[in-house]
Amino acid sequence: MKKRKYSFYLTAEERRYIFNAPLVCRNKLPTQERYTDLVDEVMIKLQK
């Protein structure tokens, strides 16, 4: 079975909200003494 690819278009404001949500989460993790590697990977994929 072939996977379908979906694409959608976002405004600049929507892109900013989608990128900032994991950024806020990432900033809280070091205070909880947890790793940020997974959030970093997600943010890299969102940029592409």
**pLDDT per residue as tens, the chain (48 positions):** 788 888 889 899 998 898 888 889 888 888 888 888 988 888 888 777
Asked whether residue 33 is domain-assigned, the answer is yes
Q: Which pLDDT belongs to residue 46?
A: 78
Query: Domains in the chain: how many in total?
Result: 1
Q: Hey, what amino acid is at 46?
A: L
Asked whether residue 23 is domain-assigned, the answer is yes
Asked whether residue 1 is domain-assigned, the answer is no
User: Domain span at residue 34?
Assistant: 12-47
Q: Which pLDDT belongs to residue 1?
A: 76
Q: Which pLDDT belongs to residue 13?
A: 94
Q: Which pLDDT belongs to residue 11?
A: 94
CA angle (35, 39, 34) in 5-degree steps = 15
Residue labelled with tokens 């592409």: 48
Asked whether residue 3 is domain-assigned, the answer is no
Asked whether residue 6 is domain-assigned, the answer is no
pTM, two decimal places: 0.58
Q: Which pLDDT belongs to residue 44?
A: 86
